[in-house]
Amino acid sequence: MGFGCNAAGVVGCRIIDSPRERLLATLTNSLVPCNGRFPAIIAVISMFFVTSSGVGATAVSALLLTLAILLGIAATFISTRILSACVLKGERSSYTLEMPPYRKPQLWTVIVRSIFDRTIFVLGRALTAAVPAGVIIWLLSNISLNGASLLSLCAGFLDPIAELLGLDGVILLAFILGFPANEIVIPIIIMGYLSKGSLTELSSLAQMRELFVSNGWNCVTAINVILFTLFHWPCATTLLTVKKETGSLKQTFYAFALPTVIGIVLCFTVNLISLIF
């Protein structure tokens, strides 16, 4: 379920009887890319690693995307194994699947429960995080200080940290401001490079690639953007859902820190290797 939405995946962990294993599944759910992260990953792969068109290029794109997904799945398995061996020790539970008696679905009940118990619950939490974030993004991009927008000043402040990860300040700031929804990370990057006062999208990947390359992107930058898209803090809706499901700020912090630490370590390692060679 996490491939569709990590928040929905966290809610889906309710069906796990064992509290320890339910917590393991909750903490590691965001290590697989949700639907909001796929467009950015696909766009970066298409711009920097597939330069031609046709069946062969499509196959290469699909292969690279599959490898990215498998990396997320591998991180989930490895993290779960480490957590279950160190932090969340305990006996493994047996798995029994009982087939319930078949009953004719009650259409109205299914619709009401799916809308009110699932959809509105997730959308309400998304709205809670999106509105304040939208205000912050607008203020940063439209308020200037000494001739420069607050957005560009913040990006400049983050540059030294971002360079250690093979990124730049605009990219790192876009991930931070994209906290309410992963879908807006790329538009924020474009807005930062173009110094626009609102979220912007370009009409083609060729224009986007030209803009990114002119601002210092290369293959190492693209790899690290893919890695950080895969592994960084969950969106606000997911963290709010983790807090509701676990009732613990500490576990919510762990859900925030686990993918972030993995992303930082991987990006730093890739950047270090590129600098050495």
Structural domain spans, the chain:
6-90+127-276
On the question of pLDDT at 192 being above 90, the answer is: no
Q: What is the mean pLDDT of residues 154-168?
A: 93
- Residue by residue, DSSP assigns 20-39 as HHHHHHHHHGGGS--TTTHH
Q: Are 135 and 180 in contact (CB under 8 A)?
A: no
Distance CA 167, CA 218 (A): 10
- In angstroms, what CA-CA distances link 246 with 33, 122, 140, 250? 22, 16, 34, 9
Confidence band (pLDDT; 50, 70, 90) for 136?
Answer: confident
**Single pTM value for the model:** 0.83
Q: What is the mean pLDDT of residues 144-159?
A: 86
Taking alpha carbons only, the member of 122, 119, 80, 79 closest to residue 244 is 122
Q: What is the mean pLDDT of residues 47-62?
A: 80
Q: What is the mean pLDDT of residues 61-74?
A: 93
**Predicted local confidence at residue 222, as pLDDT:** 94
109 phi and psi, to 5 degrees?
A: -65, -40
How far apart, in Å, do the first and last CA atoms of the chain sit? Answer: 40
On the question of pLDDT at 4 being above 70, the answer is: yes
Q: Are 224 and 41 in contact (CB under 8 A)?
A: no
**Predicted local confidence at residue 121, as pLDDT:** 65
On the question of pLDDT at 92 being above 80, the answer is: no
On the question of pLDDT at 191 being above 90, the answer is: no
Q: What is the mean pLDDT of residues 153-182?
A: 91
Distance CA 267, CA 239 (A): 23
